[in-house]
Structure 1
Amino acid sequence: MNTKLWFVVLSSLLLGACASGPAYRAAPEADDYGYRDTQLTADRYRVSFAGDYGTARETVENFALFRAADVAINHGAERFRINSRETSPVTSTYGGGPSTSIGYGWGYPFWGTSIGYSTGGSSRTRYETVLEIQIGDEVPDQGAEVYDANELKRNLSAAVAAGEQR
């Protein structure tokens, strides 16, 4: 009996690990979670990170900053400037509106009828951060919204590697 219990526990853990992917990753599809970046001009990029349901807003913002640092470094820049940033909640509602039901049943020694009404539906919220960044010679050494890409990656790498989810 002990062996069966361990098998069930191990199987559940493995299935749970398969069901959730890494938090910091490229978004495989348009509405999926992860990062995306688009080159807008020679020195400007749009960088976004969409969190999965349950990922904290601060984590989503940190992952977007981490990706911005990656983009800067990958293009030979030591620093970047954020020209605009926006974090928005994305709410999904499911389960439809109101519903009614009528039922009856019997079983010795009882029988009965019932009428039910449900307002139904529930919602979940996740967050998405969109940054427009600038890299290159026009970015000053210091200033408002100017980040050292390597320092930022060093400071956030532990949180990103841990896949901070909550």
Structure 2
Amino acid sequence: MTNKKTILVLFILFSVLEGYSQKIQTNYFIRMANVANFNLSKRSNYYTPALATGFGLGYKSKFIEFAGFENKEDNWGLFTFFGSNIHTKNLDEDWKLHTNWFGELTYFPPQKNNQNVWVNTGGVCFFLNRAYNWGSIGIPLCVGGAYSQKSISLNTRAILNLSFNLNK
């Protein structure tokens, strides 16, 4: 194992242990997102499914996630997704509907003869969620505004999310 991989594994391990001692929830997630982007500056649109996986931290109603993704065009990148719960409605004893505000910083490294790109996004998610002892399954529907390279876009996502608790 290389030094970078060893450091990453140790960081994840100690983050889980520290989170447990501080009442911070940690999770590993896998999600399938369908992203539609409507570029208002260039009057164009873009759609792609993407697969993402990463780790999340939560404390009370706040959360932050760090992940990598790959879309159907084999473009890949990294993102951090953060935010807070605005409102939760109990639909029954098992299902909840959360309303969250979010921010996201996404990085596409140089690939396929394209330069690197940073995308800043902010918006609102409606997150239908069912919790289990092992984690949760949910369907977030998100809408937000995105800014990248002097261009403004309307960004929408429909996501299938599967989370596994690491310290519960």
Shorter chain as normaliser: what TM range? under 0.3
Structure-2-length-normalised TM-score: 0.25
Structure with the largest fraction of strand: 2
Structure with the largest fraction of helix: 1
**Larger RCO (CA under 8 A, 6+ residues apart):** 1
Structure-1-length-normalised TM-score: 0.25
